[in-house]
Amino acid sequence: MNRRFRYGVIIALCICIAGCAGVQRKFARKKKEEAKQLPIVTTYDYAKELRVDELYKKRFLFWKSWQGELIDRIGDSYKKRTECYDELMQNLLEMQKYLNDEKYKELEIFITEIKSVDPDVKKIGLTNSEKYRIAQLLEKTKRLIDKRFSYTHVKDSLELRK
């Protein structure tokens, strides 16, 4: 018994000397964290009418780059041709939304002309003559649209269609 008592005392002393840091940390109070200040976000409600010029310029630039990309990649893969064609049509239709009736109808002619090559552009295997014909039509329409519908030529014809 004397031996057990000694071992018990030694173990108790070891525990007291070593301490129970884990237990102390568990029950110690944590410092209060300061509430972080949230960022201040200011939003502006721009009326669409005031942004028509900017929106038209953006769509015109996107259309021009996508049509140029399609012309350059007419011999590439079916997926790339289709993506370029879909993007250029989307941007042309968006451009059209910002034009008055006269310019709207004028752009409609070019859109119809570009839509005429839709089945060919989305065809998996194109012959060299089809590639050449599509590229020629796209280059011609790009040149004419760029000339007639650049921002400097249509800035007085811009309005927001609803």
Q: What is the mean pLDDT of residues 88-102?
A: 91
> Is 23 domain-assigned?
no
pLDDT, tens digit (0-9, with 9 covering 90-100), for 32-72: 777 777 778 777 666 655 688 888 999 999 999 999 999 99
Of 44 and 114, the one with more pLDDT = 114
**Full residue range of the structural domain in which residue 137 is found:** 48-157
Residue 82's CATH number: 1.20.120
> Is 21 domain-assigned?
no
Q: What are residue 158's DSSP bridge partners?
A: 99
> Is 101 domain-assigned?
yes
> Is 3 domain-assigned?
no
| Among 39, 153, 53, 45, residue whose Cα is nearest residue 106 | 153
pLDDT, tens digit (0-9, with 9 covering 90-100), for 64-86: 999 999 999 888 888 888 999 99
Q: Rounded to whole angstroms, how far apart are CA atoms 98 and 49?
A: 10
> Is 72 domain-assigned?
yes
In total, how many domains does the chain have?
1
> Is 4 domain-assigned?
no
> Is 24 domain-assigned?
no
Residue 75, C-beta contacts closer than 8 angstroms, at least 6 positions apart: 126, 131
